[in-house]
Amino acid sequence: MTVTNNITRFLDAHKVDYTAHALPPEKLGALQAAQHMGVLPDLVFKTIVITREKKKPVLAVIPGTRTVDLKLLAVFLAEKKVFLPAERQAEALTGLQAGGISPLALIHKGFQVVIDSAAQQYEKIYISGGQRGLDIQLAAADLAKLTHARFGHISQEAAPLPSPKI
Whether 12 shows a pLDDT value over 80: the answer reads yes
Give CA–CA dist 112/139, Å, rounded. Answer: 19
Q: Which of 5-14, 18-27, 45-54 has the lowest mean pLDDT?
A: 18-27
To the question of pTM greater than 0.95 for the whole model, the response is no
Residue 151 contacts residue 141 (beta carbons within 8 Å): no
Q: According to CATH, what is the number of the domain 6-156?
A: 3.90.960.10
pLDDT band at 136 (very low <50, low <70, confident <90, very high): very high
Give CA–CA dist 11/21, Å, rounded. Answer: 14
Give CA–CA dist 24/56, Å, rounded. Answer: 31
Give CA–CA dist 84/79, Å, rounded. Answer: 14
